[in-house]
Amino acid sequence: MTLDPTVRPKMIGDMTQERTPLRKSEEAVGHAVLALYYYAGAADIYAETGEQALIEALDKLWGNIVNQKMFITGACGQKHDGGSSNRDFVHEAFTINYEMHNAHSYNETCANLCNAMFNYRMLGVKGEAKYADVIETVMYNSALSGIDIGGTNFFYTNPLRRDFDHKMGETDYPTRVPYIPCFCCPPNLVRTIAKLSAWSYSLTKNGIAVNLYGGNTLETNLLDDSEIKLTQKTDYPWDGAVLIEVKESKKEAFDIMLRIPEWAKGSTVAINGKKENATAGTYFTINRKWKKGGDVISLDMPMKPELVVGHRKIEEVRNQAAVKRGPIVYCIETPDLPENTNVFDVYIPSNIELTPPKKESEFLGGLSTLKGTVMLTEDRGDKMYKTLEKQTWKTFDATFIPYYAWSNRGASEMTVFMPILWE
């Protein structure tokens, strides 16, 4: 803490989970990292004990986080310092519902990772796709933003907008740094990436579930100890086509369950070429006698670029939109804007045509950018308030890069949300 010594920060009450017993909690409160570890631990206890009061509270807490306190990137920890709805001082913490400031969001890398860890445990006890959706959102966005393309520099905080006037301090850095005095986030991130493959599949009562997609080979044993070997081929998250081949399996019928992400409307699953529609936001279960060395599952998830808007009560993103494609949240960054333009100048037309993604094999470690024409305002000025006047605009063919890849080209300004120009 670097608060002025005359300030008594009072690390009590909601800040340290002292105000409301967990089993009676309905709102996520307190230091975001500690809260999410606490909830993850409680989910572990539920997995052992089956205590109903615990899971009922965890369901409410999960709903409050995902529907009222989580950023589009899966990040948690709305403010560096703020107040809870019970008026307790809170630090690096959950604050009140819908308080989602872009530039001043805290979003410690650890908190985002803990959100994924909490969801991994909820996935284990509930088996619902929505928990794996959050894991995926976190890992591709607010976790991966914590590390640079080279893998040697780190962010502690992960705001959704950065402008050069933002006052930095303590754990907030203008660019990623190789060493952070409070060194929790870097090892937490790299260990989570290292073990993410273990979250990709789950054993189920009657088979196996595919939670996360990516090229891999799986060799394991089902719960009845029978051997299973699968290969998965895909260019996910840049392409929504996934091929899974059953290389080895038992003779008897068993389930292969595929997570269809909530964003993947219009997905299809084909087994040896026979196509079926799959419902987004669920696991698509295939039960059959699998032919080893022959059966191929082909999953196709449409990845149309889209504009995403926030709930009407999120004051900070009223009439703003973010660009998203599949699980990847995009941003606009000053190295891709004309000289002397800042991110506050950028407006996004509601009918923007985002061109099909261009896979750039070298750029920022290999990723897909999106292109589209935005409008740049020439309205500048220092007055706090002024009379509304007709603005002059310039069109600009913009490049959007994945949010996680920002700040790899020196100090820059960046924004995820942009004001909408209704066309």
- Using the minimum distance from each CB to Zn ion, give the nearer residue, 34 or 184: 184
Tell me the window of 101-109, 124-132, 209-217, 400-408 that interacts with Zn ion (CB under 5 A).
Answer: 101-109
Stretch that binds Zn ion, among 179-187, 231-239, 255-263, 360-368 (CB under 5 A): 179-187
| Contact letters for Zn ion, residues 297-336 (x by CB under 5 A) | ----------------------------------------
Closest CB 109 distance from Zn ion, rounded Å: 6
Nearest residue (CB) to Zn ion, 118 versus 400: 118
User: Where does residue 310 fall: left (phi above 0), alpha (psi -120 to 50 degrees), or beta otherwise?
Assistant: beta
CA 156 centroid distance within chain: 16
**How many whole angstroms separate alpha carbon 37 and alpha carbon 166?**
30
Residue closest to Zn ion, measured at CB: 110
Structure tokens given for 327: 């699980």
Out of 103, 184, 203, 309, point to the residue binding Zn ion (CB under 5 A).
Answer: 184
Instruction: Give the nearer residue to Zn ion in terms of CB position, either 38 or 330.
Output: 38
Q: What is the DSSP letter of 49?
A: H
Task: Confirm if 108 and 171 have CB atoms less than 8 A apart.
Answer: yes
For residues 184 and 271, which CB has a smaller minimum distance to Zn ion in the complex?
184
Residue that has been written with the tokens 């989580």 in this structure: 70
The answer to the question of residue 110 lying near Zn ion (CB under 5 A) is yes
Q: How far apart are the first and last CA of the chain?
A: 47
Determine, following the binding rule CB under 5 A, whether residue 185 of this chain makes contact with Zn ion. Answer: yes
Is residue 144 within the footprint of Zn ion (CB under 5 A)? no
- Burial of 351: CB neighbours in 10 Å, binned 0-12, 13-18, 19+: exposed
User: Which contacts qualify for 65-68: CB closer than 8 Å, 24 or more apart?
Assistant: 65/28, 65/94, 65/115, 66/130, 66/134, 68/97, 68/98
Bridge-based pairing state of the strands 346-349 and 418-421: parallel
User: What SS3 class is residue 189?
Assistant: helix
Binding residues for Zn ion, how many (CB under 5 A)? 4
> Closer CB to Zn ion, residue 116 or residue 401?
116
Listed ranges 7-15, 19-27, 110-118, 322-330: which one lies at the site for Zn ion (CB under 5 A): 110-118
**Nearest distance from C-beta of residue 316 to Zn ion, angstroms:** 24
Task: Give the interface segment with Zn ion, choosing from 103-111, 299-307, 333-341, 349-357 (CB under 5 A).
Answer: 103-111
Which residue ranges make up the site for Zn ion (CB under 5 A)? 108, 110, 184-185
